[in-house]
Amino acid sequence: AKVAALTAGDKYQREIREEQEQRKREEDDKHRRKMSFQNRLALFQS
């Protein structure tokens, strides 16, 4: 029972970590899009 609980805990931790990494990637992606948008805007205005 202890081993099963351990693997379940590991699985849970791994899912949380994957979710956090995915969220971080989405944030980075959003940031990149925003930056490129601002760059285009700056080119447009100059």
Residue found by looking up tokens 């379940």 in the block: 8
Query: Measured in whole angstroms, how far is the alpha carbon of residue 8 from the centre of its chain?
Result: 23
Asked if the model's pLDDT at residue 45 lies above 80, the reply is: yes
Asked if the model's pLDDT at residue 34 lies above 80, the reply is: yes
Query: Measured in whole angstroms, how far is the alpha carbon of residue 46 from the centre of its chain?
Result: 34
**For the chain, how many structural domains are there in total?**
1
Domain with 38 in it: 1-46
d(CA 26, CA 17): 14
At 31 the pLDDT is 98
d(CA 29, CA 27): 5
d(CA 27, CA 3): 36
What is the tens place of the pLDDT at every residue in 2-28? 888 889 899 999 999 999 999 999 999
At 22 the pLDDT is 98
Report the predicted TM-score, pTM, of the whole model to 2 decimal places: 0.64
